[in-house]
């Protein structure tokens, strides 16, 4: 029943897209398209939630006579798909609601409206697909629709480059997934997931499948070093699409990884987890370090997506390690942590992108160096954005902390792993996770402090106004969810239990029955955390302090110019900027990670030319990994280009030569 409901929603979305193509220029189109998307997402969300909670009557399979004739298009809603559909449609609901208001500011609606519903529909289909063909087709649809949305403002040279890089990486990723599925299917195998699940895979095949899945799903998710397209493409799209791409599409990529590695490739070996853990750790640390160096608000958020994907993959890697060693309860804990973080990241990253979009609408600026003081001009947006910042920085009692806490608990279970490689790697990964959590806090102090606090740096920022109610509703909805999930993490953990039972054989112990709604992931260790009580205690203590001081101390307040050690400068340009804020951290990590070079040109006393400060940051991954490949491709293309301008005789002799070589090869072939 639920599958049919979601498929009808998908059909409705596709129909909307076709109609939007025809009438995109009309004024009503924006409302109508986002309205339909909103309704479809809500219905799909409800169906998926029913599929997740009330999955007692087993999975249902729907077969549509589409695609390859003897396979058809198979759709199945199991708990894993249901959970990710909840994530997808939750994001879709909020993005549509946000688009309702935000879409009115769109300069070229005809380039956004037709592709937005397709994008939503494709993401639903990827998760729902139950055979490789449907999966890959929907995956490609998702890539192309999001590419079209990235190219919505294609006249901007940066966006054109972003679109080009994205298209290359997306095709590369799909190719890797295609190969992975063909290996899983085997020589005479079927493309149906059920058949793949039961097939036997040799260790070599398993290794290749892992590598290809990491390339395919990892490039879409943004694993270092496949992340290069992500900080270019995500910010280029309109903000609600950025939210969907960062908050939701990367989660669909995580779904692809979980589906293939945990579900289809049943028995993992321990070295696989080493690869995943190492990639996750490096991704988490590098992602946040790159983010710290950005001064474009949306690009900063995109780099943070890279970091959070790293955290999710750390959880997945731990789950693989435990599963390979048959520690089912620990695997359940690690997998729950990873999937919990999937949900959390989709919430706060969408929220933050909505906020960045609101700032963009209000000030026309993405560069933080041109903002400042927005807390006075946009109080509601800035409050919602603050909630998102606290959540993503993993600070209690919000949701980001709950999932990172679970990941740390999972790391603490790993000394029981027998392999020495893991014993040495896991503590290092723990340190990397801790480092990335701390740096994320620093990064969001910077993002919030420079954008919303202080004094306005430009007149546009000084005259910004609050955004429309629909955008605010979307932001506050997600902010409320961040707080609620942070206070009641047990709800999500219990919701994920059937899923982990499916994938690793056991679920975490039920949390909702515990006294005071605290969470105790492993009863034997008695490690517990209670978001609700932390929240209540902080609230009560703060109120007590306010009451006591205002009642018995003073309550007088006077406004005066800032003190600033006696030298207040009226110019807002004396404030700390994004660049100066990151300088100490750049200095600590910079030479190692970014190859930072600073040049200071200070004129001699009496000389009147201006002083200059130049800073160069190198993207080492781009320079060392992508530039050589791009150079080689270009060299080969140059060389092959000679064949374009030959005479007909030469072409004919070439054809003859090739024929002879092929015939010779056939003759010599044993």
* Cis, peptide link before residue 392, omega less than 30° from 0: no
Q: Are 493 and 508 in contact (CB under 8 A)?
A: yes
Q: Are 272 and 389 in contact (CB under 8 A)?
A: no
Tell me how long the chain is: 670
Which backbone phi and psi does 62 adopt, to 5 degrees? -120, 130
Which backbone phi and psi does 540 adopt, to 5 degrees? -65, -45
What is the closest distance, in whole angstroms, from the C-beta atom of residue 635 to other proteins in the complex? Answer: 42
Site string for other proteins, 459-498 (x = CB under 8 A): ----------------------------------------
559 binds other proteins (CB under 8 A): yes
The binder of other proteins chosen from 75, 166, 385, 581 (CB under 8 A): 581
141 binds other proteins (CB under 8 A): no
Q: Say how far residue 579 (Cα) sits from the centre of its chain.
A: 25
Q: Are 75 and 129 in contact (CB under 8 A)?
A: yes
What is the closest distance, in whole angstroms, from the C-beta atom of residue 343 to other proteins in the complex? Answer: 19
What is the closest distance, in whole angstroms, from the C-beta atom of residue 557 to other proteins in the complex? Answer: 5
Q: Are 241 and 119 in contact (CB under 8 A)?
A: yes
Q: Are 361 and 102 in contact (CB under 8 A)?
A: yes
556 binds other proteins (CB under 8 A): yes
What is the closest distance, in whole angstroms, from the C-beta atom of residue 296 to other proteins in the complex? Answer: 19
What is the closest distance, in whole angstroms, from the C-beta atom of residue 442 to other proteins in the complex? Answer: 4
Q: What is the 3-state secondary structure (H, E, C) of 147-192?
A: HHHHHHHCCCHHHHHHHHHHHHHHHHHHHHHHHHHHHHHCCCCCCE
Measure the CA–CA gap between 93 and 175, rounded to whole angstroms: 31
The binder of other proteins chosen from 182, 449, 458, 466 (CB under 8 A): 449
Q: What is the 3-state secondary structure (H, E, C) of 623-668?
A: HHHHHHHHHHHHHHHHHHHHHHHCCHHHHHHHHHHHHHHHHHHHHH
The binder of other proteins chosen from 572, 619, 620, 621 (CB under 8 A): 572
512 binds other proteins (CB under 8 A): no
CA angle 148, 150, 156 (to 5 degrees): 115
Which residue lies nearer to other proteins by CB, 444 or 488? 444
The set of residues, in sequence order, having a beta carbon less than 8 Å from that of 107 and lying 6+ positions away, is 153
Residues 352-391 that bind other proteins (CB under 8 A): 372-373, 375-376, 379, 386, 390
The binder of other proteins chosen from 539, 603, 628, 631 (CB under 8 A): 539
Which residue lies nearer to other proteins by CB, 156 or 569? 569
For 613: left if phi > 0, alpha if psi spans -120 to 50, otherwise beta; the answer is beta
182 binds other proteins (CB under 8 A): no
DSSP state of 601: E
Site string for other proteins, 76-115 (x = CB under 8 A): ----------------------------------------
Number of residues that bind other proteins (CB under 8 A): 88
The binder of other proteins chosen from 505, 584, 595, 603 (CB under 8 A): 584
Q: What is the 3-state secondary structure (H, E, C) of 12-58?
A: HHHHHHHHHHHHCCCHHHHHHHHHHHHHHHHHHHHHHHHHHHCCCCC
Which residue lies nearer to other proteins by CB, 129 or 288? 288
600 binds other proteins (CB under 8 A): no
- Determine the interface stretch with other proteins among 140-148, 248-256, 434-442, 611-619 (rule: CB under 8 A): 434-442
Which residue lies nearer to other proteins by CB, 256 or 315? 315
Which residue lies nearer to other proteins by CB, 266 or 585? 585
596 binds other proteins (CB under 8 A): no
What is the closest distance, in whole angstroms, from the C-beta atom of residue 338 to other proteins in the complex? Answer: 17
Q: Are 269 and 206 in contact (CB under 8 A)?
A: yes
What is the closest distance, in whole angstroms, from the C-beta atom of residue 576 to other proteins in the complex? Answer: 2
Measure the CA–CA gap between 179 and 630, rounded to whole angstroms: 23
Residues 386-415 that bind other proteins (CB under 8 A): 386, 390, 393-396, 401, 405, 408-409, 411-412, 414-415
The binder of other proteins chosen from 218, 575, 590, 593 (CB under 8 A): 575
The binder of other proteins chosen from 26, 459, 463, 580 (CB under 8 A): 580
- Determine the interface stretch with other proteins among 52-60, 94-102, 458-466, 580-588 (rule: CB under 8 A): 580-588
């Amino acid at each position: 029943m639920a599958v049919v409901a979601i498929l009808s929603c998908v059909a409705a979305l596709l129909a909307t897209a076709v109609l939007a193509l025809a009438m995109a220029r009309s004024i009503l189109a924006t409302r109508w398209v986002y309205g339909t998307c909103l309704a479809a997402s809500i219905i799909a969300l409800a169906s998926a939630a029913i599929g997740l909670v009330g999955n007692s009557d087993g999975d249902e399979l729907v077969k549509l006579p589409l695609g390859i004739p003897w396979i058809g298009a198979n759709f199945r809603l199991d708990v894993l798909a249901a959970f990710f559909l909840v994530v997808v449609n939750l994001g879709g609901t909020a993005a549509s609601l946000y688009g309702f208001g935000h879409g009115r500011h769109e300069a070229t609606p005809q380039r956004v409206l037709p592709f937005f519903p397709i994008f939503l529909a494709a993401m639903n289909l990827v998760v729902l697909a139950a055979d490789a063909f449907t999966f890959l087709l929907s995956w490609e649809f998702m890539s192309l629709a999001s590419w079209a949305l990235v190219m919505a403002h294609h006249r901007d040279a940066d966006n054109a480059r972003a679109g080009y890089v994205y298209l290359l990486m997306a095709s590369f990723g799909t190719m890797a997934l295609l190969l992975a599925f063909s290996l899983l299917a085997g020589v005479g195998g079927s493309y149906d997931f059920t058949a793949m699940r039961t097939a036997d895979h040799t260790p070599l095949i398993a290794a290749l499948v892992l590598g290809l899945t990491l390339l395919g799903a990892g490039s879409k998710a943004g694993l270092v070093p496949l992340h290069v397209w992500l900080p270019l493409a995500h910010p280029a799209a309109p903000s609600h699409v950025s939210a969907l791409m960062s908050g939701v599409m990367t989660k669909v990529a995580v779904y692809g990884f979980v589906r293939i590695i945990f579900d289809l490739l049943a028995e993992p070996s321990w070295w696989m987890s080493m690869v995943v853990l190492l990639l996750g750790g490096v991704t988490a640390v590098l992602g946040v370090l790159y983010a710290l160096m950005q001064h474009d608000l949306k690009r900063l958020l995109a780099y943070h997506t890279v970091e959070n994907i790293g955290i999710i993959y750390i959880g997945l890697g731990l789950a693989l390690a435990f599963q390979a060693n048959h520690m089912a309860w620990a695997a359940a804990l690690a997998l729950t942590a990873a999937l919990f973080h999937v949900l959390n990241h989709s919430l706060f990253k969408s929220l933050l992108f909505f906020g960045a979009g609101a700032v963009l609408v209000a000030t026309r600026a993405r560069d933080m160096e041109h903002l400042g003081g927005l807390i006075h001009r946009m109080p509601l947006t800035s409050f919602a954005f603050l909630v998102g910042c606290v959540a993503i920085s993993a600070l209690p009692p919000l949701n980001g902390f709950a999932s990172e806490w679970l990941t740390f608990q999972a790391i603490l279970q790993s000394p029981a792993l027998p392999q020495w490689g893991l014993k040495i790697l896991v503590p290092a990964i723990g340190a990397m996770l801790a480092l990335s959590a701390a740096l994320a806090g620093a990064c969001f102090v910077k993002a919030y402090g420079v954008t919303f606090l202080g004094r306005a740096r430009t007149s546009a920022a000084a005259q910004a106004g609050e955004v429309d109610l629909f955008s605010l509703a979307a932001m506050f909805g997600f902010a409320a969810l961040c707080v609620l999930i942070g206070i009641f993490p047990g709800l999500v953990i219990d919701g994920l239990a059937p899923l982990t039972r499916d994938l690793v054989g056991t679920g975490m112990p039920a949390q909702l029955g515990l006294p005071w709604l605290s969470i105790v992931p492993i009863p034997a260790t008695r490690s517990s955390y209670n978001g609700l009580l932390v929240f209540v205690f902080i609230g009560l203590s703060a109120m007590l302090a306010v009451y006591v001081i205002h009642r018995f101390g003073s309550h007088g307040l006077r406004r005066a110019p800032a003190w600033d050690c006696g030298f207040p400068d009226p110019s807002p340009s004396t404030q700390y900027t994004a660049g100066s804020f990151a300088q100490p951290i750049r200095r600590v990590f910079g030479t190692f990670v970014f190859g930072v070079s600073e040049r200071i040109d200070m004129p001699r006393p009496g000389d009147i030319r201006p002083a200059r400060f130049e800073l160069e940051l190198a993207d080492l991954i781009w320079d060392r990994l992508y530039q050589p490949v791009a150079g080689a491709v270009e060299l080969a293309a140059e060389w092959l280009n000679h064949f374009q301008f030959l005479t007909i005789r030469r072409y004919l002799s070439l054809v003859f030569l090739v024929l002879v070589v092929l015939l010779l090869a056939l003759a010599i072939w044993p």
